[in-house]
Amino acid sequence: MSKVNRIKNIVIGIVIIMVSISMLVFPDTGYYMATFILGVALLINGIKQFAYFLSMGIHMVGGKIILYRALITLDLSFFILSIKGIGQRYMMAYFVIYYFFAGIITIFRAYESRKAEAAFWKWKLITGIIKVTISIMCIVNNNSETIMLYLMCFGLIVSAITRIGKALKKTAIIYIQ
Query: pLDDT digit of tens for each residue in the chain (177 aa)?
Result: 788 889 988 998 998 898 888 888 887 776 777 777 778 888 998 899 899 889 988 888 878 888 888 898 898 888 878 876 666 667 677 778 888 888 899 899 888 888 887 777 888 888 889 889 988 888 888 777 777 778 878 888 888 888 898 888 777 666 676
Residue 11: per-residue pLDDT: 92
* In contact, 12 and 45? CB cutoff 8 Å: no
Q: How many CB atoms lie within 10 A of CB 118?
A: 11
Task: Give residue 10's pLDDT.
Answer: 92
Shortest CA distance to 156 belongs to which of 3, 43, 8, 12?
12
116 in helix, strand or coil? coil
**Planar angle of CA 101, 140, 135, nearest 5 degrees:** 20
CA-CA-CA-CA torsion sign (68, 69, 71, 72): positive
Q: What pLDDT is stored for residue 177 in this prediction? A: 66
